[in-house]
Structure 1
């Protein structure tokens, strides 16, 4: 969903963008005469942005970054086709595998959505060695996607490497 990561400070914060196009399939139904980005997709953009910060902070150690909680999510403006949602996520606290983040999405100078997310890292295979190759494949795929979203990472993530 997010189009680009524009700024990244592992362990601190990240900024990403999502440009909304009238070509998005879901806009035909949401709403035909007044197309706007659904609130759940605004939340998804915040989650995805926060998850990339967690992955970069954790140096792509885990294959999964799961949403555990979405708290105090408030919507205050629409995102319409032709507009760009600029999402910021700041790491507030880390306790083991749990990351607490403050997130917000802006359109122009207006905050469109904000909230606090708790994300958790884990492996697909847990401690099972037989599934560790699945985890490695997922991490490799995520690193490839990360290089596309954040071109400055290309020099830091060597092909096949598992660290940022």
Structure 2
């Protein structure tokens, strides 16, 4: 199963907010078992999508000097998300400091509010990780690196036309 739970960014304002989307396809493995005949997106995967959107916002705000680690989520679910829908993840940076950050987050399907959350992140300096863990930016690599490049492209203002 894949680990990245956002498909693309639709807006990205450095140090302020980010909006990403996730298309829910019946072809995704989790829909086969959750639940047969009633394909509902598992709530933890929706929260992971929100955390990835907010985590990228936090990481970019600090030029990816540290890994951004999920520390705490407080969430209230309002409805389910079903296969065939598109989730819109919206995150807003509330606080950012040397030890971590806090974002407010929502997930919508169309006009329907699925979940609202507050997410706290901790900063983990790769050089200070426990022995045995790689001292690399383990969060900002692979698929997320590609999404970060896409986020940067979204955040650039359009070139003036001639």
1:127: how far off?
A: 7.7
In structure 2, distance between residues paired with 1:17 and 1:94: 24
- Displacement over 3 Å in runs of 4+: 136-145
Structure 1: tracts of 5 or more residues without a match: 156-164
Give yes or no for the alignment of 1:68 onto 2:71.
yes
Name the SS for the 1:60 alignment partner.
coil
Superposition RMSD on alpha carbons, in Å?
A: 2.5
1:65: how far off?
A: 1.1
Q: Deviations over 1:35-61 (max 9, x none)?
A: 010111111111011011011111122
With structure 2 as the length reference, what TM-score do the two structures score?
0.81
With structure 1 as the length reference, what TM-score do the two structures score?
0.80
In structure 2, distance between residues paired with 1:151 and 1:122: 23
Aligned partner of 1:94 in structure 2 is: 96
Alpha carbons of structure 1 residues 30 and 125: separation in structure 2 relative to 1, 3 Å:
same
1:140: how far off?
A: 5.7
Structure 2: tracts of 5 or more residues without a match: 157-162
Name the SS for the 2:127 alignment partner.
coil
Alpha carbons of structure 1 residues 136 and 50: separation in structure 2 relative to 1, 3 Å:
closer
Check the 8 A contact 1:60/1:143 in 2, yes or no.
no
Aligned partner of 1:45 in structure 2 is: 49
Aligned partner of 1:20 in structure 2 is: 24
In structure 1, distance between residues paired with 2:21 and 2:49: 9
Q: How does 1:3-152 map to 2 (within 5 A)?
A: 3-62=7-66, 64-71=67-74, 73-126=75-128, 134-135=135-136, 139=140, 141=142, 142-147=144-149, 149-150=150-151, 152=153
In structure 1, distance between residues paired with 2:7 and 2:45: 13
